[in-house]
Structure 1
């Protein structure tokens, strides 16, 4: 049996908590929570790429639950950072667009989070850290029998 200090999962849990606290503290002056930031940034990025994504596309990009995404997007809409419009092709779907205020805030918030990331991960070699995190974040291939 591993001790907590030798358990990769336990260490990852604590590292994640520390990183999330640092990101939350950096975003607080901008009036965003961490999840609000992620969804605003994903919406803004998809808009910049020429898309007018629906809520499912933003949830997929962010890796978040669709219902939670919808609730947070409503909050971002209330804050005037995104607009949710009914899709003319599917009245059940909402298309998303960052407002001018959201489009101004998103890159500033991204810069703040990138600065936190740079400081947080400074102790580890960037290329190795990215390789490990990419491997951990990727979905395992489905078995084909």
Structure 2
């Protein structure tokens, strides 16, 4: 019978959860001086990318892009709005939809924190060779494969 320690260290789900928890805590500490949590950043950074050309994406589009639940996106967007980083407005095309835009302060915060997080990712992936390494790319591809697989895939 295998001991508990080796079972835990061979459990992929547990390892992914531990790594995710660790990275989130590290990013939360790094982002705190900017008034953000890792969860808020996970909305702010993609929104920055989506709005670069002046587009006002919907909350639904942001939820689809990030893979986060629409209700969670709404909660995070409201927090960012209270901080003066994001504005929300009813869509002119679909009154049920909410369109998003970054304020000037939101765009500046996004630029600063994207640079910060990119540096953090490089340090966190250093054991694999950093952000641009082949090993990191392989890991990212495997994680995407797991994320894209239907639940209960055989």
**Fold conserved between structures, TM > 0.5:** yes
**Alignment coverage as a number of residue pairs:** 142
Partner of 2:59: 55
Q: Which residue of 1 aligns with 2:139?
A: 132
Q: Structure 2: 5+ residue runs without aligned partners?
A: none
Q: Point out the more displaced range, 7-16 or 87-96.
A: 7-16
Matched, 1:106 2:115: no
Q: CA deviation at 1:49?
A: 4.2
Give the TM-score of the pair, scaled to structure 2: 0.85
User: RMSD value over aligned CA atoms?
Assistant: 1.8
Match of residue 23, structure 1, among 20, 27, 30: 27
Residue ranges of structure 1 left out of the alignment (5+ in a row): none
The 5-angstrom pairing of residues 1-145 of structure 1 reads 3-125=7-129, 126-138=133-145, 139-140=148-149
**Rounded Cα–Cα distance in structure 2 between residues aligned with 1:35 and 1:118:** 19
Distance 2:94 2:143 in 1: 36
Question: Displacement, 1:96?
Answer: 0.6
Q: In the aligned structure 2, how far is the partner of 1:123 from the partner of 1:68? A: 32
SS of 2:126's partner is coil
